Amino acid sequence: MNVLLEPWDTAFGLPPFARIRDEDFGAAFDLALDRARAAIAAIAEGPGTSFVEVIEALELAEGDLDRVAGVFYNLAGADSTPAREALQRDLAPKMSAFSSQVTNNQALWAKIEALWQGREGLDLTPEAARVLKLYRQMFLRSGAAMEGAKAERLTTVKSRLAVLGTRFSQNLLADERAWFMDLPEADFAALPGFVQEAATSAGAERDRGPVVTLNRSLIVPFLQFSPNRALREKAYEAWAARGANGGETDNRGVAAETLALRAERAGLLGYADFAAFKLEPEMAKTPDAVRDLLMQVWRPARAKALADAAVLEAMLVADGLPAPLEAWDWRYYSEKRRKADHDLDEAVLKPYLSLDAMLGAQFDCAGKLFGLEFREIDGPFYHPDVRGWEVTRGGRHLAVFLGDYFARGSKRSGAWCSAMRGQRKLGGEVRPIVVNVCNFAKGNPCLLSYDDARTLFHEFGHALHQMLSDVTYGFISGTSVARDFVELPSQLYEHWLEVPSVLEAHARHHETGEPMPADMLARLLAAGTYNQGFATVEFVASAMVDLEFHSGTPSADPMQKQAEVLEALGMPRAIRMRHATPQFAHVFSGDGYSSGYYSYMWSEVMDADAFAAFEETGDPFDPATAARLERFILSAGGSEDAEALYLKFRGKMPGVEALLKGRGLLDAA
């Protein structure tokens, strides 16, 4: 028996990581796919036509495949190897073909459609009725009602898109892994100790002295603190060039083909363009609604960013350097200005924000809000850096939580939350295994910036959405919600990092144990909206480019289209997109956030309003508000329409004003 498919006699049903070898995955996928095909054929061709015999049977038909994929795809993103990358390339068309076989199965589609047409007489629970609706929607949007040449072409297009998404992601990882810059002794000495430690560690991985790499946790602080403008430019331009260096890892052609195929896919399904197709099931519904939100935010953000740029350029000139302010100058002079205006020095702040301290903070908040308890457990896990906790409440097991926090060459950049196993009740209670992955610079101890701590809380908000899920059907559990709703729990949880009592209790110096001085804490919180013009502009520019990529006829030259969109927006010279096209993994490493990068901001409109619900009670941990949050948002998954769930929690839908206030942009609006 393949270890990935045999019963796992492990604590909490965790995968037996120590026994799993790369060569086990290929055979396990082949067998799991065969079993899934057989189970689905039995549903389609058998006599059963009831909701239980069709929809509930489909829910359980891919159990083995879900199990194998849950392990493999987590490892492929967080700890890649050449063998895993090769298998990922091989699996992309196979998994796409399997998906198309399911949704193109006319006998199966006929049974689902018959259930839908006769739904009034089925006596379904509200949750079951929602699942039926979503299954029908999924099949329709996958082309189930199509036949003949158009159906065959749609299958071909989806298969090619799966291949391109994998290639884009692997090209980007290859570029990030390949580049580094040695630090001369004088330039190394000019950096704060925590940056020196990260650069030394990165160099040791490459058997050389201190280096700067393209990992965000190292290159961003280098750009903040290096006084050498020429080195900043060299590092920044290498960072900006990821995926656009020519040769086999160049993503520009991948992006162009992806956009053309997405447009064709939408056209085959009868939509005007891919944005219209993609946004139909989301809260925003239409591209115009997204543009309206983004432009409401863009105008004040741009005004604030231009005002900030003038101040930073004056600082540059005062240093005897020639204007204009460039993209590789912004973070350096913004850090100097933050120190001058708010007396905040990140090198002094970070010793109070160790990873262990901030983990304690995120767990403490979850305990106060939802009664959760976290007990650290032993591995082995899939990498020595990974830590694990059992999550309980009132003695009841709720989840296993894994944290993989440190940057390494085998891990793709960014931060994310995923589940090796999702929650469901159908077929017996199944509790989730949830994973948070970050890319913090490894140190002894690991010290976080305030932005790093915010990222930690953000991803844990996603984890809570998974861990507190309490639905019958895995199809709608956890984060299986509208894309522009999924970021609400994560962005909302960031607010508890700003609660003074949380930092007072947990922000303690890693050597002395002393709490962060009260005046430093006050300055930190007062600077909460500092540099938000920059942060908002780089985000909205990326979201607008994503939206326009997928609206209308796709451009044959995405880089030219990107330039046109930015010019029309009046993009400030010294700020670039947060994710330029060749490295825009959210959009091109699969279509999860395609036409949907805006969703972070759509959710932010709600998260600012949702935290206000706590503030209005005078208690950021108000039990009644926390109970409503869990009941209607965190435990509900996709059991109801996202807007309906939010209305049950808050009683009204918010406007953009709460977001602008939270980012300190109201005065510029």
Phi, psi torsion values for 153, nearest 5 degrees: -65, -40
User: Using CA atoms in the order 615, 618, 624, 626, what is the torsion angle rounded to 10 degrees?
Assistant: 40
pLDDT at 658: 86
Q: Strand runs (DSSP E) across 122-217, as ranges?
A: 180-182, 211-213
Choose among 292, 269, 276, 244: nearest CA to 558: 244
Is-contact 643 594, C-beta < 8 A? no
Residue where the block lists tokens 């849950």: 70
Bridge partners, residue 430, by sequence? 424
0.85 cut: is pTM over it? Answer: yes
Helical axes 518-526 vs 327-342, angle rounded to 10°: 130
DSSP assignment of 278-328: HHTTSSS-SHHHHHHHHHHHHHHHHHHHHHHHHHHHHHHHHTT-PSSP-HH
Residue type, 218: L
pLDDT of residue 669: 64
- Which CATH code is given to the segment(s) 351-516+600-668? 1.10.1370.40
Tell how many helices (H) and how many strands (E) occur in the chain: 29, 7
How far apart are alpha carbons 459 and 417 in whole angstroms?
6
Contacts of 210 by beta carbon, 8 Å cutoff, 6+ apart: 182, 183, 188, 196, 199, 200, 202, 203
Residue 377's DSSP bridge partners are 388
**Residue 100: enclosing H or E segment and its boundaries?**
helix 82-103
Angle at 449 between CA 445 and CA 455, to 5 degrees: 105
What is the pLDDT at residue 129? Answer: 98
- Given CATH 1.20.1050.40, say whether it is the number of domain 11-103+105-141: yes
Q: Where are the domains of the chain?
A: 11-103+105-141, 179-242, 248-344+532-597, 351-516+600-668
Please report where in the chains the tokens 């392990």 appear, as a residue.
Answer: 71
Q: Find the helix or strand (DSSP H, E) in which 391 lies.
A: strand 387-393
Q: Top-level CATH class of 248-344+532-597?
A: mainly alpha
CA distances 664 to 336, 534, 661, Å, are 20, 12, 5
Question: Given phi > 0 = left and psi -120 to 50 = alpha, else beta, which region is 143?
Answer: left
* pLDDT reported for residue 190: 97
Q: Which of 304, 326, 365, 351 is nearest to 534 (CA)?
A: 304
CB atoms within 10 A of CB 338: 18
**Residue positions annotated with a catalytic role:** 459
248-344+532-597 and 351-516+600-668 share one fold: yes
Q: What is the largest CA-CA distance in the chain?
A: 82
Distance of CA 435 to the CA centre of its chain: 12
Q: Tell me which H or E stretch contains 34.
A: helix 22-45
Low-confidence ranges of the chain (pLDDT < 50): none
What was the pLDDT predicted at 411?
93
Instruction: Record the tokens describing residue 442, joined without a space.
Output: 């490894």
- Angstrom distance (rounded) from CA 586 to CA 546: 10
Neighbouring CB atoms inside 10 A of 110's CB total 13
Distance (Å, rounded) from C-alpha 650 to C-alpha 409? 43
Residue 287 pLDDT:
97
Q: What angle do CA 413, 417, 420 make, to 5 degrees?
A: 115
Backbone angles phi, psi at 236, to 5 degrees: -65, -45
